[in-house]
């Protein structure tokens, strides 16, 4: 009798069914409506995101994903829920971190990756799985725009640090308005 390995997406939705379920309410059985549409290399990125969100939620707060997918070589996450202002800020930060980390991780194998462009299509790949040319100039690599603040959202430029899995300020010597990719 062989061992059957379950797909990481199925396992994650089984562990956190309400994160991926319809908004039908607690009385109805949870039905998965959000599917995870990205490669296996990003399993750890999505798992890390879910752990952060689960640790943030307080009693009576609700959270669910509307979509998790690869777009333009990065993880794109749409979500909703009923959260306090404090929890919403933490969830926004966790989503921003996951999206930024995805551009540093090969979507195929999970190794360190970079954004590449081939035939007009952007993908994040390690050197083994890459094709095409690097899509971002080296000095702009890991520079992201993210939202900050609570109800009043402000877009700020920052650099993602893979080692600490956090955002750091963009170098002050970089001219303003030069963050285009």
What confidence category does residue 173 fall into, taking pLDDT thresholds of 50, 70 and 90?
very low
Tell me the pLDDT band of 141, cut-offs 50, 70 and 90.
confident
Q: Is 19 exposed, middle or buried (0-12, 13-18, 19+ CB in 10 A)?
A: buried
Q: Cβ(111)–Cβ(80) under 8 Å?
A: no
Per-residue pLDDT tens digits for 74-113: 999 999 999 999 999 999 999 999 999 999 999 999 999 9
Q: What are phi and psi of 135, to 5 degrees?
A: -90, -10
pTM for the predicted model, two decimal places:
0.82
Domain ranges of the chain: 8-169
Identify the pLDDT of residue 3. 46
Instruction: Give the number of residues written for the chain.
Output: 181
């Amino acid at each position: 009798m062989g061992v059957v390995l379950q797909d990481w997406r199925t396992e994650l939705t089984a562990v956190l069914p309400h994160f991926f379920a319809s908004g039908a309410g607690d009385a109805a059985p949870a039905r998965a409506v959000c599917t995870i549409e990205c490669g296996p290399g990003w399993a750890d990125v999505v798992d890390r995101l879910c752990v952060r969100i689960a640790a943030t939620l307080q009693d009576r707060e609700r959270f669910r994903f509307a979509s998790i997918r690869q777009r333009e070589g990065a993880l794109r996450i749409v979500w909703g829920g009923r959260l306090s202002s404090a929890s919403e800020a933490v969830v926004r930060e966790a989503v921003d971190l996951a999206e930024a980390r995805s551009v540093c991780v090969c979507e195929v194998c999970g190794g360190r990756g970079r954004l590449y462009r081939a035939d007009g299509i952007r993908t994040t790949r390690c050197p083994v799985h890459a094709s095409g040319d690097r899509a971002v100039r080296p000095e702009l690599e890991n520079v992201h725009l993210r939202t900050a603040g609570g109800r009043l959202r402000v877009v700020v430029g920052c650099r993602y640090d893979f080692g600490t899995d956090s955002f750091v300020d963009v170098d002050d010597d970089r001219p303003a308005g030069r963050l285009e990719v």
